[in-house]
Structure 1
Amino acid sequence: MSVKLIASDLDATFLKDDKTFNEELFQEVLDKLHAQGGQFIVATGNHVQKVRDYFKNFEGQYQLIANNGAEVLLDGELKHVWSVPASALATVSQLTDKYADKLQLGVAFVAADKTFMIVKRPNDKYLALSEAYFENMQVIDDVAEIHEPILKISLVIPALEYEFMRDVKAVLGRTVHVTTSGYGAIDIVNPDVNKANALTYIAETLDVAPADIMAFGDGLNDLEMLEYVGQPVAMTNADEALFTHDFALSVADNEHDGVFKTILEKI
């Protein structure tokens, strides 16, 4: 099979645990892929500016699926956006009250160029981490202060993510899509948002068949994408739930350049 597109998750997949990556090896991958007429796609739950910071030395050499598929950028331009129904914001905030003493910090409402944070469990350490992770973070008291489309609602409830996800599904049903990237992290998005739908948008725009796409992931928020492509690869350090599917495994984990080494073996 040929490879025309390669999509990869970032955290615990493309990136090492310290959020760095082997830039020299990535450039080798890009050069080989581009020489064959292929393109590389970053497919992540991170916001756009965070990705640009990671890839500052690779501007113009990749396409981007951000916020778990809520945004698609092609050649640096925003091409498609899916937002969370406005009516769901207050409901999610209220549902988190039950878990207030278990939340790492609070609830983040991610817009295109800023993030609104409602702090439910004050913690200076996690507040600092959130300010570093989210773009232009603003602490608010109530969702009534939000007056723009929200692409993603994010929160971290260690060990209770599946219980909270069941609560969200019971109350909001199919008006939202709720997923976890593991480690207690939960994302709530528009029901049409996942990495697969965003990748489908790119593939159809570029006239590429699923059989000619390779994808890498480590979490359940990568599952739809891995099922969509013809050449799915689960990381050896992936959530065990991914191992129950018929996916190839990377030749190494994220700490040992698993994405790059697998690509170089296969293309």
Structure 2
Amino acid sequence: MIRAIAVDMDGTFLDENGEYDRVRFEQIYAELVQRGIRFIVASGNQYYQLKSFFPEKDDELFYVAENGAVIFHQGELRSVNRFAEELVHKILRTLIQEYQDLQVILCGVKSAYLLKAANPDFKAFAKKYYFELQEVDSFDVLPDDTFIKFALDVEVAKTGQIVEDLNQTFAGEIRAVSSGHGSIDIIIPGVTKGSAIQQLLNEWQVVPDDLLAFGDANNDIEMLQLTSNSYAMRESSPEVLAAAKHVAASNKEAGVLQVIEDYMKKSQRS
């Protein structure tokens, strides 16, 4: 019996325009609440951006943000995993010195940070995903924050090589993972959407196979591997399709909502 649902956002829950059918979801969500099924928003994005998609539900939903580095509920930080400050400096030096055309966002709990000298197009892109965003002159002196992730923008064709290079350079200290479309996240080893969701399931005394999970990119793999009720979106990467037990219609066809509706209809008949 499904007792929790976890959804990635971009490429999964959200359509190609970064939206979802709000009326349809409200009908579904009302039934989830009635059945006591918890809803988890699991994304590489910032909490402050994620909650904007669900106005008036901040007290109800659980947000696994920044690829599992933080968990928010009822507007409060429930859990955080942080990089050591010395390692933050080391990573920034490497990124800035060795990857000249790479764009960097340093993600903290309070805000995200990018350089004032960053590409204007990248700044516009960053503002779409980071509702709390500050520009800084340099990263030589770090802002007063707890640092949980690095978000990089690279040429799509170079993504795989840069991920491999970073994981070799910082072996055991970081994990670089593609989050699709030329985006790379640098995260804390062992800290994933899957590990954060497992933490919530343990707290709720819910077994993993009572979780329904949806994703499309490689940063969703650990979440999908948790449960036999895992769905890769039709246009997912090959690795994600291999990790999931099932395939859902694409995000352009509201595949997540289709699967949830089908599940609820079947459970009513059984």
TM-score (norm 2): 0.90
Determine the structure 2 residue equivalent to 1:100.
100
Q: 1:72 Cα shift?
A: 0.8
Shift in alpha-carbon separation, 1:75–1:142, aligned structure 2, 3 A: closer
1:30 match: 29
- Sort the Cα spacing of 1:143 and 1:70 in 2 relative to 1 into closer, same or farther, 3 A: farther
Q: 1:220 aligns with which of 208, 218, 221?
A: 218
User: Structure 2 CA distance, aligned partners of 1:117 and 1:245?
Assistant: 33
> Residue type of the partner of 1:74?
H
Aligned twin of 2:70: 71
Question: What 5-or-longer segments of structure 2 have no aligned partner?
Answer: 265-270
The C-alpha deviation readout for 1:92-143, integer Å capped at 9, x for no partner, is: 2233233323x2xx211111121121367x4222222213422232233124
What is residue 130 of structure 1 aligned with on the other side?
A: 126
1:115 is matched by which residue type in structure 2?
A: A
In structure 2, the CA distance between the partners of 1:143 and 1:214, relative to structure 1 (3 Å rule), is farther
Correspondence for 2:194 among 176, 196, 219: 196
Residue correspondence of structure 1 range 1-267 to structure 2 within 5 A: 2-96=1-95, 97-101=97-101, 103=102, 106-118=103-115, 122-134=118-130, 135-158=132-155, 159-250=157-248, 252-267=249-264
The 3 A distance-change label for structure 1 pair 3 and 143 is farther
Distance in 2 separating the partners of 1:217 and 1:246:
9
Q: What is the CA distance between 1:255 and its match in structure 2?
A: 1.2
Contact 1:85 1:190 in 2 (8 A): no
Q: Secondary structure at the match of 2:29?
A: helix
**Counterpart contact for 1:85–1:175, Cα < 8 Å:** no
Deviation sequence 1:204-249 (CA, Å, 0-9, x none): 1111110100100000000000001231110012112222335201
- Judge conservation of contact 1:70–1:198 (CA < 8 Å) in 2: yes
SS in 2 for 1:58: coil
- 2-structure distance, mates of 1:64, 1:71: 8
Q: Distance in 2 between matches of 1:77 and 1:146?
A: 21
Q: Runs of 5+ in structure 1 lacking a partner?
A: none
Q: Name the % identity.
A: 26
Q: 1:167 to 1:126 in 2, by over 3 A?
A: same
Query: What SS is found at the alignment partner of 2:224?
Result: helix
Partners of 1:193 and 1:43 in 2: CA distance: 13
The two structures have a TM-score, normalised by structure 1, of 0.91
Code of the aligned partner of 2:135: Q
Q: Which amino acid aligns with 1:15?
A: L
SS of the residue aligned with 1:89?
A: helix
